[in-house]
Amino acid sequence: MLLAQEMRGTDKSPMDMAYFPDDFAHDRRFAPEKIEFDRPIMRVIYSRPAMNGREIFGKLVPYDKVWRVGANEAPEIRFYEDVTLGGKSVKAGDYALLAIPGEDEWSLILSSDLDQWGAYSYDQGKDVLRINAATTSLEKPVEHLSIQFEGKGKGVKEGSMKMAWDRTLVTVPFSFR
């Protein structure tokens, strides 16, 4: 029998999940009348570190170095069907989501190397896609890294993935058939 004192503590950066359409899983259970699609188009599982008074980009997360978007394992993004992300085609499947943050622009990377802790074992040879996305400066800081998908209108076939932390927002457009 495992005793409470033998359990490791909880992660400081809790795991979260975002879907497109936004809140697909919650709507499916609690508001099925809102569901427009039989299944989600995409999902990302990631850990949400907090600012905790730290300077994030350029300090905790250095510019111009590969970073696993978040904390702990590199986030896993799943496309349930082929999509166009940032103007480039991506086949349905699972990928690690990494980035190279810059002051004005990020390079986003989809890698076939799943289950990597951080970006310590990053291998550029496993890149499936690289796209550039401009950053926007936010008026108020976002305490915990947040990823959300956004789309407008009924039966929407396009939208954006938004990643925000501290005073930085990165928006990546996507579309699907």
Q: How many CB atoms lie within 10 A of CB 42?
A: 23
Per DSSP, the three-state class of 33 is helix
SS3 125: helix
Instruction: List, for residues 51-105, the tens digit of each pLDDT value.
Output: 999 999 999 999 999 999 999 999 999 999 999 999 999 999 999 999 999 999 9
pLDDT at residue 45 is higher than 70: yes
Taken as a whole, the chain contains a residue count of 177
Ranges assigned E (strand) in 40-157 = 42-47, 67-68, 76-79, 83-85, 88-90, 93-100, 105-111, 127-151
C-alpha separations of 121 from 67, 73, 97 in Å:
11, 11, 13
Q: Where are the domains of the chain?
A: 14-176
With b for 16 or more beta-carbon neighbours within 10 A and e for fewer, the 134-166 pattern comes to: ebeeeeeebebbbbbbebeeeebeebbbbbbbb
Separation of alpha carbons 163 and 149, rounded Å: 9
Q: The tokens 């998908």 sit on which residue?
A: 149
pLDDT value of residue 131: 97
Distances (CA, A) of 89 to 56, 119, 159: 31, 24, 15
- 């501290």: which residue's tokens? 166
pLDDT tens readout for residues 127-156: 999 999 999 999 999 999 999 998 855 566
pLDDT of residue 151: 82
Q: What distance, in Å, lies between the first and last C-alpha atoms of the chain?
A: 52
What is the reported pTM?
A: 0.86
The pLDDT mean for the chain works out to: 87
More confident residue, 34 or 159: 159
What's the pLDDT score for residue 12?
A: 79
